[in-house]
Structure 1
Amino acid sequence: MLVKDNFPSISGMYLINGEWISSSHVKPVINPANIKEVVGEIALCSQDDVNQAVEAASSAFQTWSQTTIEERSNLMLAVASKLEKIISENISLFVRENGKTLIEAKKDLGRCVEIMKKGPDLLKEWWQVQDFSNEHQKVQIRKRPRGVTAIIAPWNSPMILTFKRLVPALLTGNTVVFKPATDCPLTVMNCLKEVAACFPQGVINIVTGSGRVIGDTICSHPKVKAVAFVGSTETGKEIIKNCAPTVKKLSLELGGNDPALVLQDAKLDDEAIRNMRGAVLRAAGQVCSAVKRIYVHQSRYEEFVTKLEKDFHRIVVGNGLHPDTTMGPINNKSQFDFVNDLKNKTIQEGANVVNCGRKLDDESWENGYFMLPSFVTGVKQTSDIVQLEQFGPIVPILPFSDTEEAIHLANDTEFGLRASVWTEDESLAIKLADRIQAGAVFHNNHTIFKDLRLDFPGLKESGLSTETIYGGLEFFTDSYGFAN
């Protein structure tokens, strides 16, 4: 029997034009560390609900777009202070519906406040009119909000990836229709409840449910002018199709199959191995920019494998709420089954899969989507474990003979999100980075950008977006020329 008194207040609800509406059609949100526990419910909205949300956003845009950047900036700073006060009370909820550890959850939520606080200063600098006048003609480049914006978030890092889009959209004067992921919607909605209450009605609207129903309706709606999506490449391609008839502006942060190249002179000390382990296993590998393939010079191969295995054994897998846990479960059954199937197929192909780490609690292991971290040796470049985005705590390690082969192997994928080069020769790292097909290349690490103003688009099938410094602000605006 469900104890709904323990559910968050937004459970089974959605937001249109300032009103939170209860739905009789809901789906349970399961704790991936204890699949017997229902954390809350998500409403299954209809196409009509989406249309109402878009109409509300369109109506609100008429007035919100006319506010000044000072008004929007001051409001954003005030809301940031309000959100900061409730972050701590939402960390446990986030762990229970997402599966991350307490440390990972705290970082995700805290960075949302950081984005809200830094955004207004960036806006004031970026919004200035650019003057290209000369003796022949007065010409200015001016900016204005684009209109109703759709933001579609993933389940792996819904807080940070939502706020990185929501904040610039609102600051530049747009209104938003937001769709959270069905497997992890509650924390972001709980936080947005506080945020939306501070904005005029209709500026922020939230519709939930099936991606096929909600996402398709949003993307095909003629009044939606821009769509910012984070998720799989397959879904991204469907979004492109649905947006094509109305030529919407698109920001797509899609899949990745990030290579790490460990060269002959790489420094394989404890810090380097620890950094590599974090790059592979952060959030149980459920990060689009995680290392998903490791290529090691054949002269260092055995040394690297031995050291990485030793470090992987430090991992404790269990419920993220437990302070001893260093890696939580896979978020949902579909992804859990996919990674397990991929792992089993790899074993059937004759590759060597080595499980590492330890279980926090044997008794509860079967009640969650838990998986020990593992690595794969004796695997071919053509194997699915190398070619696909596994999005889980398993990584193939392959040898190479020279840098030309390493570059060929790194680029042998349809993805191009991130990459890393591990060498003591920085000039060589830069030369290789020039040839690696990725939106960003790290040297002797494989991490995220510490400065939240910095991010870079993926290449090939990893996305369509520009998020570097002002890229988020630029995406949600139209620049136009004024001349006489």
Structure 2
Amino acid sequence: MNLDLKSIFYSEADIPSEFNLAEQLDQRVFLSNGALLPWAGEVNEVFSPICIQTKDGLQRKRIGSYPVCTVKESMEALDAAVNAFDNGRGEWPTMSVANRIACVERFTHKMLEQKDTVVKLIMWEIGKSYADSVKEFDRTVEYIYATIDALKDIDRDSSRFQIEQGIIAQVRRSPLGVVLCMGPFNYPLNETFTTLIPALIMGNTLLFKPPKHGTLLHYPLLEAFRSSFPKGVVNTIYGRGNKIVPQLMQSGKINVLTLIGSSRVADELKKLHPKVNRLRAILGLDAKNAAIVTRDADLDLAVKETVLGALSFNGQRCTAIKIVYVHRSLAQEFLKKLTEEVSRLKYGMPWESGVALTPLPEVNKPAYLTECIEDAKQFGAKVINPNGGEVLESFVYPAIVYPVNEQMKLYREEQFGPVVPVVPFDDLEEPIEYLIGSSHGQQVSIFSNNAAVISSLIDPLVNQVSRVNINCQCQRGPDIFPFTGRKDSAEGTLSVVDALRSFSIRSLVATKNTEHNKDLLNDIVSENRSNFLSTKYIF
């Protein structure tokens, strides 16, 4: 197969109008303290990973710009969030669960009105296929409604009083305070909202910093945030993270840090907080998920799932399969089938039907992946598939690298891109030892048709990773399942229900079981004097 990578890029006139942006989006406002404040300062130019053919060669398409705010604006937004929480006495944290749900529902209706714009911006900002951008938006809306349903269940379970050992009590969940929410570029809407929405609906106030790649797609939602929630509950901060975030943490006013990104950044930020015992962290971090293909595996199934797991959205997923252990007796056949399957993947522009491989948003990523491949070659590996690792501007064709060993970067570093390192093994103890020694502990995939072999791997590996997948790729969903990791891969658990728990704490009101106290409780409940102490039942 001969690659003509230049031909995958379009001229401006050839881009289908239904997928093009109506106009460049130059954002000059940010949301703080209940208002869309104008910005006249420095801005960051946003260029798509999608290059355009011009008379001067390939050039990244400019799609807009956004504010680069300073520490001053960030600290003012923090003050707004602190004031809105008001030590737990603010309108939002004391609001009834039913009314908070109504606000989130109102926001979701307004969000749906912006679907077309947001989906196109996902595609243009990070190069995700149009079909997958639509899926990301729809899955996010489904997640919001699932969160609402889960909160209703929790609230219904909490609506009764308990009497134990002469004590009457009602146990509910209450908010934690001010949340600093930072999402990732690879799922800039969905994974951001899997922390932002549960944090919000539980009564916390927010500072929201959009990801570096995937900032503009949140702009159409700012008015929905502003008009759906009380003043100061949602505040956006823009700017360079290394300039504005340290002072936010050093203030000691951040109660919850939620970050989906690197463990190094998370460690640095946590250390800046002056009262670390008061800081709760909900983190989705690095992962180097392994696939283990045993001698008893169905090779066709293993190859199919490996390609899905390793190369969906160009391998830019924390749940991606990032290293493959294959039994040496099957290695050559596995590589042959894997090469054939990769060659069938359609590559091109995100709006093309059936496209699987698209340009990469990070400017330095092609050079890094090339560096990893060259490093592997120095230590004896080869690129197995034709054209593997070829680069043009923002596009990298997938590379299957074999045999990978412990001397190589691809063995230990999370490549987060379309490179598939394959390691041969003779004894199952080898992949087990790899996972034991790894600083990552998110997931593993086991491919085998032998129940005894599978069980021999399950028991040691459930104590190394948070999810063991049998004969299927690593993945996050369904969202009702817990999503977390061991070691440096995560802190806290995210599922629809677990996220609500992560952004809240159990609180209770208790009194001795006397007639006088029962009369007091009855009066409070019957007269609706408290939003916390209540027997209202949300349907």
After TM superposition, the score normalised by the length of structure 1 is: 0.92
Residue 380, structure 1, aligned to residue 405, structure 2: yes
Distance in 1, Cα, partners of 2:267 & 2:460: 26
> 1:205 is matched with which residue: 226, 235, 238?
235
Q: Which moved more, 1:211-220 or 1:98-107?
A: 211-220
Change (3 A) 1:267 1:244: farther
Change (3 A) 1:334 1:217: farther
Q: Secondary structure at the match of 2:414?
A: coil
> What are the Cα deviations for residues 285-312 of structure 1, in whole angstroms up to 9, with x where unaligned?
1111100010011121111111011001
Q: C-alpha displacement at 1:274, in angstroms?
A: 2.1
Letter in 1 for 2:61: E
> What are the Cα deviations for residues 126-157 of structure 1, in whole angstroms up to 9, with x where unaligned?
23438664224344433211111110111111
Number of the residue aligned with 2:440: 415
CA contact 1:356–1:372 (8 Å) conserved in 2: no
Distance in 1, Cα, partners of 2:216 & 2:387: 30
CA contact 1:42–1:182 (8 Å) conserved in 2: no
Number of the residue aligned with 2:45: 28
CA contact 2:309–2:474 (8 Å) conserved in 1: yes
Change (3 A) 1:236 1:426: farther
Distance in 2, Cα, partners of 1:469 & 1:162: 14
Number of the residue aligned with 1:451: 478
Number of the residue aligned with 2:15: none
Q: Secondary structure at the match of 1:333?
A: coil
Q: Which moved more, 1:229-238 or 1:464-473?
A: 464-473
Letter in 2 for 1:280: A
> What are the Cα deviations for residues 205-251 of structure 1, in whole angstroms up to 9, with x where unaligned?
11112111222233223222111100012111112212353431101
Number of the residue aligned with 2:374: 344
Residue 322, structure 1, aligned to residue 349, structure 2: no
Distance in 2, Cα, partners of 1:441 & 1:243: 35
Residue 464, structure 1, aligned to residue 491, structure 2: yes
Pairwise CA RMSD = 2.3
Residue 17, structure 1, aligned to residue 29, structure 2: no
Q: C-alpha displacement at 1:42, in angstroms?
A: 2.4
> What are the Cα deviations for residues 248-305 of structure 1, in whole angstroms up to 9, with x where unaligned?
1101110000010111111122x44222101001111111110001001112111111
> 2:297 is matched with which residue: 257, 266, 280?
266
> What are the Cα deviations for residues 80-109 of structure 1, in whole angstroms up to 9, with x where unaligned?
233223213322221111011112211111
Distance in 1, Cα, partners of 2:245 & 2:180: 9
Sequence identity, in percent?
A: 26
Q: C-alpha displacement at 1:396, in angstroms?
A: 0.9
Structure 1 moving runs of 4+ over 6 Å = none
Residue 116, structure 1, aligned to residue 140, structure 2: no
Q: Which moved more, 1:392-401 or 1:471-480?
A: 471-480
Letter in 2 for 1:150: L
Number of the residue aligned with 1:184: 214
Q: Which moved more, 1:88-97 or 1:77-86?
A: 77-86
Change (3 A) 1:345 1:382: closer
CA contact 2:136–2:187 (8 Å) conserved in 1: yes
> 1:43 is matched with which residue: 63, 67, 75?
67
Q: C-alpha displacement at 1:394, in angstroms?
A: 0.2
Distance in 2, Cα, partners of 1:429 & 1:110: 35
Distance in 1, Cα, partners of 2:375 & 2:187: 28
Letter in 1 for 2:116: S
Please identify the structure whose Cα radius of gyration is greater.
2
Q: C-alpha displacement at 1:60, in angstroms?
A: 2.2
> What are the Cα deviations for residues 344-378 of structure 1, in whole angstroms up to 9, with x where unaligned?
2222333102345799xx9xx74x41000011112
Distance in 1, Cα, partners of 2:388 & 2:405: 28
Number of the residue aligned with 2:103: 75
Q: C-alpha displacement at 1:12, in angstroms?
A: 4.2
Q: Secondary structure at the match of 2:198?
A: helix
> 2:286 is matched with which residue: 255, 263, 279?
255
Distance in 2, Cα, partners of 1:288 & 1:113: 21
Q: Secondary structure at the match of 2:98?
A: helix
Structure 1 unaligned segments of length 5 or more: list them.
none
> What are the Cα deviations for residues 434-461 of structure 1, in whole angstroms up to 9, with x where unaligned?
3121111111111424322223211111
Distance in 2, Cα, partners of 1:357 & 1:167: 43
Q: Secondary structure at the match of 1:15?
A: strand
Q: Secondary structure at the match of 2:296?
A: coil
> What are the Cα deviations for residues 378-417 of structure 1, in whole angstroms up to 9, with x where unaligned?
2212311110001110011111112222211233311111
Q: Secondary structure at the match of 2:108?
A: helix
Change (3 A) 1:358 1:256: closer
- Superposed, 1:254-403 pairs within 5 Å as 254-269=285-300, 271-323=301-353, 325-356=355-386, 366=392, 368-403=393-428
> 1:245 is matched with which residue: 275, 283, 292?
275
Q: C-alpha displacement at 1:324, in angstroms?
A: 5.2
After TM superposition, the score normalised by the length of structure 2 is: 0.83
Letter in 2 for 1:157: Y
Distance in 2, Cα, partners of 1:78 & 1:347: 55
Distance in 1, Cα, partners of 2:399 & 2:132: 20
Q: How many residues align?
A: 474
Distance in 2, Cα, partners of 1:307 & 1:204: 50
CA contact 1:230–1:253 (8 Å) conserved in 2: yes
CA contact 2:31–2:222 (8 Å) conserved in 1: no
> 2:125 is matched with which residue: 68, 83, 97?
97
Change (3 A) 1:194 1:8: farther
CA contact 1:356–1:373 (8 Å) conserved in 2: no
CA contact 2:104–2:228 (8 Å) conserved in 1: no
Distance in 2, Cα, partners of 1:100 & 1:146: 35
Letter in 1 for 2:82: S
Q: C-alpha displacement at 1:204, in angstroms?
A: 1.0
CA contact 2:252–2:273 (8 Å) conserved in 1: no
Change (3 A) 1:213 1:384: same
Q: C-alpha displacement at 1:333, in angstroms?
A: 1.2
Residue 7, structure 1, aligned to residue 37, structure 2: no
CA contact 1:312–1:357 (8 Å) conserved in 2: no
